[in-house]
Amino acid sequence: MLPRHWVSRGWNWFRIKWATIRYPLGALVAWVATILGLVTAASNIFSILNASQSNRELIWGWTIALVAIISFAAFAFQRMNRAKGDALARTFSQQAHALDILRETRSLLRVHAISYREKNDPVPPEILSRARLRIQEALTEYAHTYSVIANTRCRLCVKMIRTRSGNEHEDPSIDDFFIYTLARDADSASENRKHDEKRRDNFLDQLKDNSDFLELWSQDIEDEGIFFSGDLRSEKEYETSSLNYRRNILGNPNTKPEEGWPLWYTSTIVWPIRQEKDEDLGIMHEAHHGFLTVDSQVPHAFDRDIDVPLGRILANALLPVLDLYTELLP
């Protein structure tokens, strides 16, 4: 009998590979069915043109073929318009489950935060670890939601902002801020665990080296509350420390396009996880905790009208959780 850890590794490998191919496979089947329908209609037309029939039979044949093509086109157009809405509706239960997970995580952290404020007792490390795992579960639910809607594999990640130890002075400069991965969906967490730990422990990701995060963090730059790109390869001003890490170079990685695009993803959306300034509520300053990201290997995988509001709901649900989590960090 195989050792249990071998079975576990084999199952994780299969699960990650299946998550990678199942959505493209479904899209491929749909496209094959569409092409077969068009080819069948076209072959009917050509057979009519080459057949020796009376004019009446020819007219009837043309009419039937055109009706079939028009009906098929109308049906395909209707299905395309309804596909994302239907896919979104099928994921409502998963979205609700993810938000329930975050609500429970907030309650867990709040209990310990109250104790910390009253008694100044340090929070057991397993509580923070449990909170991270619960956040991972919520991201996994939403990763499946986005994958169903986009019909391709999508990954979700929460990035946190921090400063290097010893630099938490009253007026830190932009050079003092770094980002690190707090949690990912389960599949991408398994794939990137070692890389995430290395980048976190060695402070390899400065905030200033990531134009998307910097735009949403800086109060000097106006933003629309998201960073949205259908194809990062065509973004002239886009910079990310992930490119530096993958290519293992210094400076602007966009100056070496001949090296190709080393990142797994090409399209992405980023939301800030922040408390907005609201003087009416007595909130005089913005509070930034981090960022929520979704990405896909497929260019133009995301729809502004559906995918942006969906992620904003999740980012807003993460805000109170990360607020408490940050307070309880040692």
164-183 tens-digit pLDDT: 765 455 677 888 899 999 99
Tell me what pLDDT residue 300 has. Answer: 93
Tell me what pLDDT residue 145 has. Answer: 94
Inform me whether the pLDDT recorded for 273 exceeds 70.
Answer: yes
Inform me whether the pLDDT recorded for 47 exceeds 70.
Answer: no
Mean pLDDT check: name the lowest of 49-58, 92-101, 209-218. Answer: 49-58
Tell me what pLDDT residue 183 has. Answer: 97
Tell me what pLDDT residue 257 has. Answer: 44
Q: What is the mean pLDDT of the chain?
A: 80
Task: Identify which has the larger pLDDT, 283 or 150.
Answer: 150
Task: Identify which has the larger pLDDT, 12 or 216.
Answer: 216
> CA geometry: angle at 308 spanning 305 and 311, to 5°?
140
Inform me whether the pLDDT recorded for 108 exceeds 60.
Answer: yes
Q: Map out the domains of the chain as residue ranges.
A: 4-84, 91-328
Inform me whether the pLDDT recorded for 246 exceeds 70.
Answer: yes
Query: Which whole number is the average pLDDT over 267-292?
Result: 80
CATH homologous superfamily of 91-328? GAF domain (3.30.450.40)
Residue % of the chain over a pLDDT of 70: 66
Tell me what pLDDT residue 208 has. Answer: 93
Residue % of the chain over a pLDDT of 90: 45
Inform me whether the pLDDT recorded for 285 exceeds 60.
Answer: yes
Inform me whether the pLDDT recorded for 57 exceeds 50.
Answer: yes
d(CA 273, CA 291): 5
Query: Which whole number is the average pLDDT over 75-97?
Result: 72
Q: Which of 38-47, 64-73, 160-169, 186-195 tops mean pLDDT?
A: 186-195
Give phi and psi for 123, each to the nearest 5.
-80, 130
Inform me whether the pLDDT recorded for 28 exceeds 80.
Answer: no
Query: Which whole number is the average pLDDT over 108-112?
Result: 92
